[in-house]
Amino acid sequence: MPSKLPRNPRMSGDKAPQNALSTASPPSVVPHSWLDLSPDAFIGVDAGGRITSWSEGARALFGMPANQASGMELAALQPGQHPSLVALCLRPSSKAPARHYCQTFAGHKITVSARAEQVADGAVMLCLHQSGLSKKAQSALAEREAHLEMVMATVPDAMIEIDPKGTIQAFSAAAQRQFGYSAAEVVGKNVSMLMPEPYHAQHDQYLANYLLTGQARIIGIGRVVVGLKRDGSTFPMELTVGEVRTNERHFFIGFSRDITERQETRNRLQELQAELIHMSRFTALGEMASVLAHELNQPLAAVANYLKGGQKFLSGGKADALPMVSEALTRAMEQTLRAGEIIKNLRAFVARHETAKRAEPVVDLIEEASALALVGARSQNVHVSFDLAAALPDVMVDHVQVQQVLLNLIRNAMDAMQQSPERRLVIAARAVETDKVEISVSDTGSGIDAQVMQHLFQPFFTTKPEGMGVGLSISRTIIEAHGGRISAAAVATGGSVFRFTLPAAPRARRHVP
């Protein structure tokens, strides 16, 4: 709940309260708290344009408690570059109150008429009256504002209200904490300012598309997406958007939850990684070697026996030996094929061929994997951006596996950037070779020297003290099992880039961003 307004808001310096509006001169002896009885908003402003007192009416009108308003720039109560109330304070007038456009704490636009009275030393008392409303409507509105203020101030999720053009109408206290902007900085601006590229550039089109076709990507669905803070850093958030249509208004409210540190996300991440670890354990050298030795020993021993037998027949020099040699070679060949089959099965197991592949939108795969990989990235101050080509075809993949690959590449990139002064991660996707999509993850990290490059995808190759060295080899198995290729290269400006391809889904359909 918002903190209660002090009963007696005073001018700065805690001087004796003056009420210059009731009588211009000499200073009134009317107690300041009387001003609180008026539904009009009384706002004291010092010579520097800062708010020094704030009546109950002001609290109700703007939905902001006195302790928050006190010390604020008067200009913050109005949208735009040329706040008319500031101009009025410079030339105070109690006559012919003009209309002024203001915005409430929650970002709603209101129209007020205003009078200003010089108090002392350039300080001014403003009296604002909400225009065009009956007393009843005014108090109903004040009640609604107070209610909204309470909701906006207390809901733990960030609440952002936008109009159908994407213009921010309201920005809750939690949203201000989450994104690092004050309401005054964002209200009236396009909500895309809270998204990294390519969503930043695509959002207007997406909204227009939704209004035209009703085809929703997030509205009414809820997704894990990437948010952009004022300082340029990115963070994973769970976004749910609701739509409200009334006779007078049409707007969207987004609830966003920062899941950087969220336990559930960690669990989800752990789930994904558990698969990797499961495979890592399975492929742990000793286990793998004993399984392989056991499975392959039999056919290899048989091959050796058949070949030995064949050789014996030949060295005996008998004329009827040829059919028997031929028989031994046939058997040896069969056993060689069996050995090959075992290796193939093993690869199939590691790649989990049995899991279903489906047509998946590339953007969704990247978005979710990167949001998950960003968990815990806040402390590392990594700036993530996306460079996704328009109208990418869907890809035919097992999405859990491909997310593992992406997670692995992103995590490796973050590891590689730990000592870098500049930590930029770019995830890009483009169509290649008519029926493939190439996804790349590039970083500004340590780069890969030529020697390391040779062993990169080998199992158990690692340069990290705690590394297992299986991430890239499993990634390669997964990508190759999807019919794609994975490669790494050094970036000329420092850092490295990992690229992999995936097959486009048949009858590729255009994906709406």
State the residues that interact with ligand ADP by CB under 6 A: 408, 412-413, 416, 443, 445-446, 448, 452, 456, 461-464, 467-473, 496
Q: Could you tell me the smallest distance in angstroms from the CB atom of residue 460 to ligand ADP? A: 8
Instruction: Give the closest residue to 101 by CA, choosing from 138, 132, 65.
Output: 132
Nearer to ligand ADP, 305 or 463 (CB): 463
- 174 contacts 157 by C-beta, under 8 angstroms: yes
Under 8 Å between Cβ of 191 and 168: yes
Least CB distance to ligand ADP at residue 408 (A): 6
**Residue for token digits 């070779």?**
433
Tokens 């609180």 belong to residue:
36
- List, as one string, the DSSP characters of 210-273: HHHH---SSBTT-EEEEEE-TTS-EEEEEEEEEEEE-SS-EEEEEEEEE-TT-HHHHHHHHHHH
| Pick from 185, 177, 145, 141: nearest CA to 159 | 177
- For the beta carbon of residue 8, count every other beta carbon within 10 angstroms: 14
Tell me whether residue 28 or residue 463 sits nearer to ligand ADP (CB atom): 463
How far apart are the C-alpha atoms of 56 and 43, rounded to whole Å?
10
Measured from the CB atom, the residue of 76 and 413 that comes closer to ligand ADP is 413
Min CB(44)–ligand ADP separation in Å: 58
Beta strands 358-360 and 486-490, pairing class: unpaired
DSSP per position, 165-213:
T-BEEEE-HHHHHHHS--HHHHTTSBGGGGS-TTHHHHHHHHHHHHHHH
Which C-beta is closer to ligand ADP: that of 97 or that of 469? 469
Q: For the CB of residue 177, give the shortest distance to ligand ADP in the complex, in Å.
A: 33
Distance of closest approach, residue 46 Cβ to ligand ADP, in angstroms: 55
Give the shortest CB-384-to-ligand ADP separation in angstroms: 14
DSSP bridge pairs for 428: 387, 440
Residue number, 309 or 376, with CB nearest to ligand ADP: 376
Burial class from Cβ neighbours inside 10 Å (0-12, 13-18, 19+) for residue 164 reads middle
SS3 374: coil
Instruction: Select the residue whose beta carbon is closest to ligand ADP and give its number.
Output: 471
- Amino acid 177 reads R
- 28 or 273: whose CB is closer to ligand ADP? 273
Alpha-carbon distance 102 to 75, whole Å?
Answer: 9
CB of 440 to ligand ADP, least distance (A): 11
**CA 499 to each of CA 418, 426, 469: distance values in angstroms, whole numbers, following the listed order:** 21, 12, 18
- Tell the smallest beta-carbon distance from residue 503 to ligand ADP (Å): 23
Q: Of 191 and 272, which CB lies nearer to ligand ADP in the complex structure?
A: 272
**Nearest approach, Cβ of residue 480 and ligand ADP (Å):** 15
CA torsion sign, 386 to 387 to 389 to 390? positive
Residue of 195, 149, 145, 191 whose CA lies nearest to 172: 149
Task: Work out how close the CB of 488 gets to ligand ADP at its nearest, in angstroms, rounded to a whole number.
Answer: 7
- Quick one: 262 or 485, whose CB is closer to ligand ADP? 485
- Nearest to ligand ADP of 34, 460 (CB atom): 460
Closer to ligand ADP at the Cβ: 168 or 472? 472
Shortest separation between residue 355's beta carbon and ligand ADP, angstroms: 21
Q: Which residue, 215 or 458, has its beta carbon nearer to ligand ADP? A: 458
Rounded to 10°, the helix 285-315/263-283 angle is: 20
Amino acid identity of residue 334, one-letter, is: E
